[in-house]
Amino acid sequence: MRQFLTASLLAIAAATEMPEAAGPTCKPKLTVTDIRLSDVQRETQERRWTATVSADASRCATTAGYFDLGVLRQKENGVELQFREQFVWSAPAVMIGIDFWADEAVEDHWIDGVQACPCAK
């Protein structure tokens, strides 16, 4: 049993070190621009917050990956809510969007949790 446990711990340690063994990692530089909030749609009482995310992936060997967008939502007669949505970045830019009710708006947003990419050679 002790040998199995030791072997399991060594396997876990090796697995966590594998990304380093695969080579150095980089991250793209992401920038949020062209932010808009649509008018309220009468049928659904919703509106859409959209933005363009520009990606400088010149340091990366890939042209796409995941990132989280943190959002601080403001509600007319309610409490503020902080949440994160996952999106895919793509070079040179991608448009993203989140739906909100008519009495909600984005008070603040930020890029968070950008997935590392293999570095370009």
CB-based burial of residue 11 (10 Å sphere; 0-12 exposed, 13-18 middle, 19+ buried)? exposed
- Residue 77, classed as helix, strand or coil, is coil
- Largest Cα span, the chain: 66
Structure tokens at 75: 């509600």
- Please report, in tens digits, the pLDDT of each residue of the chain (121 residues total): 445 444 444 444 444 444 444 567 899 999 999 999 999 999 999 999 999 999 999 999 999 999 999 999 999 999 999 999 999 999 999 999 999 999 999 999 999 999 999 998 8
What's the pTM value of the predicted model, to 2 decimals? Answer: 0.75
User: Closest by alpha carbon to 88, among 107, 69, 61, 73?
Assistant: 69
Question: Span 23-118: which CATH code?
Answer: 2.60.40
